[in-house]
Amino acid sequence: MLEKTEKEKITHIEYVDTRLSDIETINDKIGILDVRVITEKGTNINVEIQLINRYNMINRTLFYWARLYAGQIKRGSDYRDLRKTITINILNFNYIDEDSYHTTYHLHEDESKKMLTDLLEIHFVELPKFIEQSPGLNNSLNRWLAFLTKPQESSKEGIEVAEPAIKKAITVLGMLSRDPETVRLAELRMKKILDEKSMIEGAKEEGRAEGKLEVARNLLAMGLDLASIVKATGLKEEQIKEIRCQPPEN
C-alpha cells in the first residue's frame, strides 16, 4: 500500500483515540480500532478501521489528518519540521465512488495534475469491494485484506507462508479465541455493531417512507388522480386517501 515508505523501519507504534468530540465519545460505545505508526524518517501513518458507515468519513478523515499533521509542531519548532502524514482508512462498507477497492489521494493542481506536495496522503480501502472483486493474493496488501476478511481461511490459502507477519497474527488470534473474557467482549461488541446498523437502516427506511408521503401530498395538491399517485409512489390506495383527508400543513 505504501510503496515509498514500506522500506522505512517503524520506530514507534501506539493505539490512539480519534473520536472527535466528547459527544462522540459518549455515543460511540463500540470504539474504533486506531493505530498510529511513526517511521525512522518521521513519517506519521495512522491506520483506522471503521466498521459502521456513519456518513461522515471524508470530513472525519480530513479533520483527523489535519490534527495529526499540526500536532507535530511543538513550542520552538519550525514549519520545516513537519513530516509527511498518511491516513489509511479500512472500511467495512463501500463509501468512495470508484470501482477500485483501494484509492489514494494527494494534493494536485486541477489542470496539470502536478502534485503540490507529498506531505498529505489519504488511503481508503473498502473491504466489500475487495471481497466482490476477489483479486489475486500477489501482493502484501491483498494478502492482509484476505486475512482481515476471512481469517479462518488464511491457512488454506497459504497466506502465512508468503507473509510471515500474518502467521504471527493467526497465532495471536487463536490465543484470543480461547480466552472466555475476550470472546465475551467480542460478542458484546458485535451485538452493539449490529444494533447500530439496524438503527441506521431503520432511520433510512423511515426517511424513504416519509419521502413517499411527501411526494403523495404534492401530487394530490397538483390534482393528480389516485391511480397515478399509487403508481408513482408505490403507496397503497388507502394511505393516499388518508393523506387526502388530512388538513393541509401551515
Question: pLDDT per residue over 61-104, tens digit each?
Answer: 999 899 999 989 887 888 988 999 999 999 999 999 999 999 99
The structure's pTM equals 0.70
Q: What is the pLDDT of residue 24?
A: 47
Is residue 30 domain-shared with residue 121, that is, in the same domain?
yes
Considering the domain boundaries, does residue 178 fall inside one? Answer: no
Do the Cβ atoms of 120 and 85 come closer than 8 Å?
yes
218/112 same-domain check: no
Distances (CA, A) of 168 to 8, 32, 159: 21, 22, 12
Give Cα separations from 179 to 115, 165, 172, 182 (angstroms). 49, 22, 11, 5
Number of domains in the chain: 2
Give long-range contacts, CB 8 A cutoff, 24+ apart: 129-135.
129/94, 129/99, 129/100, 129/101, 130/101, 130/102, 133/101, 135/101
**What does the CA dihedral 117, 36, 143, 158 come to, rounded to 10 degrees?**
150
Looking at residue 246, its pLDDT comes to 80
d(CA 66, CA 85): 9
More confident residue, 49 or 17: 49
Last residue of a domain, one of 77, 103, 133: 133
Domain-located, residue 78 = yes
Domain that holds residue 218: 207-245
Mean pLDDT of 234-250: 80
Grid cell at residue 163? 507473509
- Asked if residues 92 and 51 have their Cβ atoms less than 8 Å apart, the reply is yes
